[in-house]
Amino acid sequence: MKIKSLIGALTLGLAAVSVNAQQIEVTITNLTHGIYFTPFVVGAHDADFHVFQVGQAASTELTAQAEGGDIVGVSGLLDDVQAVVVENPAGGLLAPAASATLEMDTGTNEYLSLTSMLLPTNDGFAGLDAWQIPSTAGTYWIHVNAYDAGTEANDEIINGGGAPGTPGIPAAPGMDAGTGATGVTTEETNNTVHIHRGAVGDDSLTDGKSDLDNRIHRWLNPVLRVRVVVQ
């Protein structure tokens, strides 16, 4: 029975090659004015998997990426479900206005997800959750929002703290942030993945409650534009 169904699946697979195995090109553009994105994890997977879902608690793997930019965990989650994974297409940080392009053969996977941390934030990330890849060849555009992982209080203190459970922001890659902040808040009201309310910042680089610059380190949704070319 098992062999028979395997043969059936193989036959179907051969017949459906032109439909299922898709070569796609994905271009990610940073739409923000002053926010950097840590290395992206991009995965093509099946309908049952989610890297994150709004209104639900972030996984420990996503927490590690959203708080510190660590992609090992999220990439592993995708590997566990036999996803096609591309890591770090920008070869490091994606600066404001910059783009990164990758190509992937999605195989039989019909859904696309990606995640990356916003710097400088405590646990802000941009994410695409299981976008259904069209079967029709063409060019598609997606706008991606900034989420708050809900795992760390947005104190806006830059102290190098990137490990899960460690307060603070790892770094401000634009080298345009301050020091000496006392902290915006110690509370996180919504402990699930939700839309990020934005940074507070202040106008002092040496003290005040935030190390962020209230003129530079702010954004409104969407924060990324993703172009998908289905070939």
Partner 1 sequence: MKLFNKHFLITMIAMISIGSQLTGCDGSSSGTPEVVPPPLPVAFTFEVEVINLTNFQPLSPVALIAHREGNIWTVGESSSDELELLAEGGDNSLIISSNFAPLNASGEAPIGPAGRETISITVFDSIDGLYLSSATMLVNTNDAFTGFNRLDVSGFEVGQSQALMTPAYDAGTEANSEAEGTIPGPADGGEGLNVARDDVDFVSLHNGVVTSDFGLTSSILNESHRFDNPVAKIIVTRVE
Cα separation of 26 and 174, whole Å? 25
Task: Give the interface segment with partner 1, choosing from 4-12, 15-23, 93-101, 197-205 (CB under 8 A).
Answer: 197-205
Cα separation of 14 and 25, whole Å? 23
Q: According to the binding rule CB under 8 A, does residue 231 interact with partner 1?
A: no
Q: According to the binding rule CB under 8 A, does residue 197 interact with partner 1?
A: yes
Residues of this chain, 64-123, that bind partner 1 according to CB under 8 A: none
- Kindly state the smallest distance separating residue 219's Cβ from partner 1, in Å: 8
Please name the amino acid found at residue 123: D
Give the Cα-Cα-Cα angle 131, 136, 138 (nearest 5 degrees): 85
- Kindly state the smallest distance separating residue 51's Cβ from partner 1, in Å: 16
Q: What does the chain come to in residues?
A: 231
Q: According to the binding rule CB under 8 A, does residue 146 interact with partner 1?
A: yes
Cα separation of 41 and 53, whole Å? 16
Would you give the end-to-end CA distance of the chain in angstroms?
A: 36
Q: According to the binding rule CB under 8 A, does residue 211 interact with partner 1?
A: no
Task: Give the interface segment with partner 1, choosing from 2-10, 24-32, 83-91, 192-200 (CB under 8 A).
Answer: 192-200
Spatial CA neighbour of 214 closest among 230, 203, 206, 225 = 203
Q: According to the binding rule CB under 8 A, does residue 190 interact with partner 1?
A: yes
Q: According to the binding rule CB under 8 A, does residue 204 interact with partner 1?
A: no
Task: Give the interface segment with partner 1, choosing from 65-73, 80-88, 140-148, 171-179 (CB under 8 A).
Answer: 140-148
On whether the CB atoms of residues 198 and 151 are closer than 8 A, the answer is: no
Q: According to the binding rule CB under 8 A, does residue 54 interact with partner 1?
A: yes
Residues of this chain, 167-186, that bind partner 1 according to CB under 8 A: 184-185
Q: According to the binding rule CB under 8 A, does residue 229 interact with partner 1?
A: no
Looking at the DSSP bridge assignments, the partners of residue 24 are 104, 230
Residue 125: in which H helix or E strand, if any? strand 124-132
Q: According to the binding rule CB under 8 A, does residue 198 interact with partner 1?
A: yes
Q: According to the binding rule CB under 8 A, does residue 145 interact with partner 1?
A: yes
**Beta strand 41-45 with 84-87: parallel, antiparallel or unpaired?**
antiparallel
By CB under 8 A, name the binding residues for partner 1: 54-55, 145-146, 148, 150, 184-185, 187, 189-192, 194-198, 200, 220-221
